[in-house]
């Protein structure tokens, strides 16, 4: 999942970016409101982690502008200001959830997963497609009841396909899920991960529509 992290505190920003990258999220990090608005105009993020106390303007203003512009991107507000008024203002301005600093990375990840489920209209935390089961919380995968060991990037790609069964995802869309800014992108990275997934899960599971992209085959 592609995430925009808006945080001016260098230590928190670096720690969150590294922690989320380790979990397989593609994270772009900006440090003020203007950079955040620029990034949101040009990149298709699925989620924004938004600090409220930013050096140039309040994160609340960024959030208000986003919602005024019709954006439905998921927003989790991060704030050191733990006053009830701030949390209420964040939620009422259109945030999907909030976390008060300091927070635990595991809790942040759990909230990201919960917000994503709600956005996709799903209450069930497990992703199931025929004999294939994916648990985004524990990063476990099983196929026909047997555990399958996937790399972080393989898991991320498979999750992207399972979240939208029947939809064709282009190579560019899948690359978006794997890489944030500043990552050297090998031109065939997605193909290599798909090849490895097919080796582990059977050739039939992931279909290629030549020149268009990839989709999950019918469940078996
Ligand atoms: Ca701040």
Same domain, 24 and 99: yes
Same domain, 39 and 105: yes
- Strand, coil or helix: what is 65? helix
Domain containing residue 20: 2-119
Q: Which residues surround ligand 1, an ion (CB under 5 A)?
A: 8, 51, 53
75, 98, 119 - which closes a domain: 119
Distance 217 CA to ligand 1 centre (A): 45
Distance 178 CA to ligand 1 centre (A): 27
**pLDDT surpasses 80 at 81:** no
Average confidence (pLDDT) over 56-83: 91
Average confidence (pLDDT) over 109-138: 90
Distance 81 CA to ligand 1 centre (A): 9
Distance 29 CA to ligand 1 centre (A): 13
Same domain, 56 and 111: yes
101, 119, 137 - which closes a domain: 119
Average confidence (pLDDT) over 11-27: 94
Same domain, 9 and 99: yes
Distance 22 CA to ligand 1 centre (A): 23
Confidence bin at 82 (pLDDT 50/70/90) = low
Distance 51 CA to ligand 1 centre (A): 6
Q: Which two tokens stand for residue 189?
A: 């990275």
Distance 114 CA to ligand 1 centre (A): 24
Mean residue pLDDT of the chain comes to 91
Q: How far apart are CA 88 and CA 73, in angstroms?
A: 19
Same domain, 115 and 6: yes
Distance 95 CA to ligand 1 centre (A): 17
- 53: domain CATH number is 3.40.50.2300
Same domain, 192 and 115: no
Name the domain count of the chain: 2
**pLDDT surpasses 70 at 185:** no
Q: From start to end of 54-201, where are the E strands? A: 74-79, 97-100, 127-129, 132-135, 140-143, 146-148
């Amino acid at each position: 999942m592609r995430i925009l992290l808006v945080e001016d505190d260098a230590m928190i920003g670096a720690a969150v970016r590294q922690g989320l990258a380790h979990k397989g999220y593609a994270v772009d990090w900006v440090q003020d409101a203007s950079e955040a608005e620029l990034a949101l105009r040009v990149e298709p993020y699925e989620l924004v982690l938004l600090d409220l106390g930013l050096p140039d303007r309040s994160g609340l203003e960024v959030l208000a502008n986003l919602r005024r512009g019709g954006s439905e991107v998921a927003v989790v507000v991060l704030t050191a200001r733990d006053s009830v008024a701030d949390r209420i203002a964040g939620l009422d301005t259109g945030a999907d959830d909030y976390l008060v600093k300091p927070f635990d990375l595991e809790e942040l990840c759990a909230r990201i997963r919960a917000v994503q489920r709600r956005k996709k209209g799903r209450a069930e935390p497990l992703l199931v497609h025929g004999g294939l089961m994916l648990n985004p919380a524990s990063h476990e995968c099983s196929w026909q009841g047997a555990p399958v060991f996937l790399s972080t990037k393989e898991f991320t790609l498979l999750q992207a396909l399972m979240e939208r069964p029947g939809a064709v995802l282009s190579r560019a869309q899948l690359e978006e899920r794997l890489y944030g800014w500043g990552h050297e992108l090998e031109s065939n990275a997605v193909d290599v991960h798909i090849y490895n997934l097919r080796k582990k899960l059977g050739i039939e599971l992931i279909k290629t529509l030549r020149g268009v992209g990839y989709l999950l085959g019918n469940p078996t």
